[in-house]
Amino acid sequence: MIDGAGKQASARESRTAEKQQSGERGALAVIPARLHSQRLPRKPLLRESGRYLFEHVYHRVAAAQRISRAILATDAPEILDAARAVGVPAVLTDVRHASGTDRVIEVARAHPEFELVLNVQGDEPEIDPDHLDLLVEKLRAGAAVATLATPIRSAEEMADPAAVKVVLDLRGRALYFSRSPIPYARERAAGAHDRALRHVGVYAFRRATLLEFGTWPTSELESLEALEQLRLLEHGVAIEVALIDRAPRGIDTPADYARFLAELASPPVA
């Protein structure tokens, strides 16, 4: 195992134990983990760090103080077996599901005791537990759906279709999401998109909203942009956006995983 992660992992697990002892009740977090990935095959089962990739995500999520339970939702018996072997709660979901959100909905239906449900992708091993708590706080304050966004730091990031952009209204709710640079600055220099933020694809739902979302067919804007959150906006559901300083870096490519391993191996900065 890579030693550099030991102290951080121990601290997170200590926070989790304290939360469980206190009996604090919060939300259900579901972690979709799909076996097949075009850019990084068998991604959830990568284990060069000594822990499966999904295992890193699970321990981050379980460290959030306002999350009562975290469950891995997978389409693959191999991932289910691996999760059980390392003590990560997991369920096998319908292989016909088209998205991770569909897996989250299936798990939420099986756990009606939870009013609040988070969708945390299984390739986000650096997700900050405090950011998940922030989403739960948004729901407790009355939001039906909440997500995260962070400042855009370069013109290259603004132009990158993989970096989803979001613009907000004056109340901090999402007006629109796009893979294209938004808004269009007609009378300003190129790149002057000071209203745009980078969307971080973690979602928190009230249970009723999540289940209703699952009954709606794919919407037109959702199809055009390949962004399922647009289905919510098209149906008039407000999405509250919590601002964070920096986005966690997900694992999409071999280079992403190599960077993650290198950072685990590096001693923490004092």
Q: What CATH number corresponds to the domain at position 9?
A: 3.90.550.10
> pLDDT band at residue 190, thresholds of 50, 70 and 90?
low
Q: Is residue 270 included in any domain, yes or no?
A: no
pLDDT of residue 111: 96
Confidence label for 20 from pLDDT (cuts 50, 70 and 90)? very low
Q: Where are the alpha helices (DSSP H) in 86-206?
A: 100-110, 129-140, 155-159
Residues 73 and 112 in one domain: yes
Position 195 scores a pLDDT of 83
Please state, for a pLDDT cut of 90, what percent of the chain lies above it: 77
Asked whether the predicted pLDDT for residue 191 surpasses 60, the reply is no
Look at residue 18 in the predicted model and tell me its pLDDT. 47
Q: Specify whether 221 is located in the same domain as 145.
A: yes
38 pLDDT higher than 90 = no
**What count of other Cβ atoms lies within 10 Å of the Cβ of residue 254?**
13
Instruction: Strands of the chain (E only): list them.
Output: 27-33, 67-74, 90-92, 116-119, 145-151, 165-168, 174-178, 196-206, 239-243
- pLDDT for 114 beyond 70: yes
- Given a cut of 90, is residue 21 above it in pLDDT? no
On the 0-12 / 13-18 / 19+ scale of CB atoms within 10 A, 269 is exposed
Q: Are residues 210 and 111 in the same domain?
A: no
**Strand bridging mode 196-206 / 165-168:** antiparallel
Query: pLDDT value at position 39?
Result: 80
3-state DSSP call for residue 233?
A: helix
Which pTM value belongs to this model?
A: 0.87
Burial of 126 (0-12, 13-18, 19+ CB in 10 A): middle
142-180: pLDDT as tens digits: 999 999 999 998 989 999 999 999 999 999 999 999 999
Same-domain pairing of 108 and 159? no
Alpha-carbon distance of 56 to 102, in angstroms, equals 22
pLDDT for res 269: 54
Identify the domain containing residue 139 by its residue range: 128-247
Given a cut of 80, whether residue 254 has pLDDT beyond it is yes
Question: Residues 236-247: what's their mean pLDDT?
Answer: 96
Q: Which of 127, 159, 184 is the last residue of a domain?
A: 127
The answer to the question of residue 269 being in a domain is: no
The Cα–Cα gap between 31 and 100 comes to: 8
Number of domains in the chain: 2
Structural tokens at position 233: 């906006």
Q: Average pLDDT for residues 99-113, to the nearest whole number?
A: 96
Q: Are residues 145 and 240 in the same domain?
A: yes
Same domain? For 214 and 233 the reply is yes
User: DSSP code of 45?
Assistant: G
pLDDT band of residue 259 (cuts 50, 70, 90) is: very high
Same structural domain for residues 104 and 212? no
Question: What is the predicted pLDDT for the residue at 193?
Answer: 58
Question: Do both 121 and 134 map to the same domain?
Answer: no
Same domain, 97 and 138: no
- Residue 150 shares a structural domain with residue 77: no
Average pLDDT, the chain: 89
- Are residues 123 and 185 both part of a single domain? no
Q: Which percentage of the chain shows pLDDT scores above 70?
A: 87
Angle ∠(181,186,192) on CA atoms, nearest 5: 55
Residue 262 covered by a domain: no
The band of 265, judged by pLDDT with boundaries at 50, 70 and 90, is: confident
Q: 93, 127, 161 — which closes off a domain?
A: 127
Same domain, 199 and 134: yes
